[in-house]
Amino acid sequence: MQIALIDSSGPEPVPLNTTGPLIGIIGSGDYSRSLALRLVLSGYRVMVGSRCPDRVVSSLFPDGVEICSQAEMAAAVDGMVFVAVYPEYYPTLTGLREQLAGKVLIDVSNAAQLRAEGQSNAERLAEIFPRSKVVKAFNVVSAWALQAGAQDGSRQVLVCSDHQDSKSSVLQLARQLGFIPVDQGGLRASKQIEEAPLILFPSWGGPILTTFLIFLFFYFYIFLRSVLLPYLDHGANTFSQLPLIIVNQTLPVVALVTLALVYLPGLLAAVLQLYRETKYQRFPGWLDRWLCSRKQLGLLSFLAALLHAIYSMCLTLRKAAHYNLLNEAYQQVHAGLEDSRVESQVWRSDLYLTCGILGFGVLALLAITSLPSVGNTLNWREFTFVQSGLGYAALTLSTMHTLFFGWNFAFLPRSYPYHMPPVFLLALILPCVVLTGRFLLALPCFSLKLTMIRRGWESPSKLCEAEAAQNFDNV
């Protein structure tokens, strides 16, 4: 089960409830205290059964919670009983079999390790109490979340049991406590539910690995082009750039490429639907996983852009060079001279910084709206506009930021030492492909047909194939 320490000063007093349904809790630890607080705030009466009730500090529990022995609690409660003790102590509860017969036992424990052999904790509890109705629930909710109050209603509670009536009662209890219950089926699903809290960021592994590999590729490319080859060629020692300058050159490239990867799978899905002329065929598994990881890739893109902004503020040489360029331009103007080269450099620098700042601002807005507490306040059209419309705006601004940075460098022979193109050119390939694809799909000849397909239209040939397959099945 999830454990979190509670303030030793005890919870704030809550109104005493003497009329609500009575729910029992076996165990008097931190989780039991948090659970008792949540139940009392939701209108329930709570009785806590402890092995040593005299040693329990009752002031840590809300007012109205009765502390007694486990046997007294089991005899007094007629409905639901939470088992809030560690699984290794389940055998010590065998003396309560008669008192708990026919009652609903809610197991809140977690697995000790991933992919462990044998039964789940809930299945072992069901063997110890064969005449009780064991339900697996609330193990994914931490003690801290239980103390947070009803505003934490976005938290899901996974529930499973072989007893449908008891499971329905626990599902309803989860709703009344302010959570979102999710029915996971029979008790055999309890093993996966118990292992769920042990999985560290299950949806982040692929996006983090992808972003890290992109960073390594471009970091090594810049190192090879700007540090190693010049050193081997004419002994230029610039290894001091490794910890700061090259990292700062790599981060914006990672941010831009990762942001392009957020919107590329949507284009591929649209092209696939146009090719198939139907939306009723599943996407390939790799595309499904890619589509599901877009939020994580977007947040990692924002992280890279944020780090790039911080690194850039630390690089005072770039700022000084910009100021020197402006001073030179102003001096030319005051002297009555015009230098188109200086003026062009000033325009390039200002546009480069402006697009970078605006792109970073829009990307920050996307990151904020991805938070559940913010996203839940938006309707589907608002969320689509923010994540799609503003997302492409961020990608466009970031691409323009890179283009203004490169300006005309791509056409200078000195920009290709050792026949290696500048890194910003490599970074622009994928974003330009995505933006070009988005522009093409926005053309009426494609967008109208794609809208029809997503509203359920299918080509006559697809309908004939489906009818033929159905007739063959009937035969």
CA–CA separation, 349 and 2 (whole Å): 53
Does 219 lie in the same domain as 188?
A: no
Out of 6-10, 46-50, 455-459, least confident range: 6-10
Does 293 lie in the same domain as 191?
A: no
Residue 159 lies in a domain: yes
pLDDT of residue 55: 85
Last residue of a domain, one of 198, 225, 244: 198
pLDDT tens-place string over residues 124-158: 999 999 999 999 999 988 887 787 655 544 578 99
- The number of distinct structural domains making up the chain is 2
Does 288 lie in the same domain as 250?
A: yes
Does 171 lie in the same domain as 213?
A: no
Residue 219 lies in a domain: yes
Last residue of a domain, one of 153, 169, 198: 198
**In sequence order, what DSSP letters do the residues of 35-104 get, joined into one string?**
HHHHHHHTT-EEEEEESSGGGS-GGGSPTTPEEEEHHHHHHH--SEEEE-S-GGGGGGGGGGHHHHTTSE
Out of 71-85, 99-113, 326-340, 442-456, least confident range: 326-340
Residue 138 lies in a domain: yes
Does 306 lie in the same domain as 221?
A: yes
Retrieve residue 447's tokens. Answer: 């967008």
Is-contact 244 314, C-beta < 8 A?
yes
Residue 109 lies in a domain: yes
pLDDT tens-place string over residues 344-359: 666 666 676 677 777 7
Does 211 lie in the same domain as 158?
A: no
Does 144 lie in the same domain as 85?
A: yes
Retrieve residue 92's tokens. Answer: 């010590």
Residues contacting 4, CB < 8 A, separation 6+: 30, 31, 34, 142, 143, 144, 147
pLDDT of residue 126: 96
Last residue of a domain, one of 175, 198, 221: 198
Residue 7 lies in a domain: no
Does 240 lie in the same domain as 188?
A: no
Q: What average pLDDT does the segment 390-408 reach?
A: 86
Alpha carbon dihedral 34, 35, 37, 42, in 10-degree steps, equals 150
Residue 8 lies in a domain: no
Residues contacting 248, CB < 8 A, separation 6+: 308, 311, 312, 315
Does 260 lie in the same domain as 132?
A: no
Residue 74 lies in a domain: yes
pLDDT tens-place string over residues 244-277: 788 889 999 999 999 999 999 999 999 999 998 8
Percent of the chain residues past pLDDT 90, beyond the cut: 47
Out of 17-21, 43-47, 313-317, least confident range: 313-317
pLDDT of residue 20: 82
The pLDDT confidence band at residue 9, using thresholds 50, 70 and 90, is very low
Query: Residue 419 is part of which domain span?
Result: 205-468
pLDDT of residue 332: 60
CA–CA separation, 85 and 89 (whole Å): 7
Does 251 lie in the same domain as 167?
A: no
Give the CATH number of the domain where residue 46 resides.
3.40.50.720
Does 410 lie in the same domain as 461?
A: yes
pLDDT of residue 472: 47
Pairing mode of beta strands 104-107, 133-136: parallel
Residue 177 lies in a domain: yes
Give the CATH number of the domain where residue 324 resides.
1.20.120
pLDDT of residue 384: 76
pTM: 0.65
Contacts 24+ apart (CB under 8 A), 403-407: 403/428, 404/348, 404/351, 404/352, 404/355, 405/352, 407/348, 407/352
Does 188 lie in the same domain as 296?
A: no
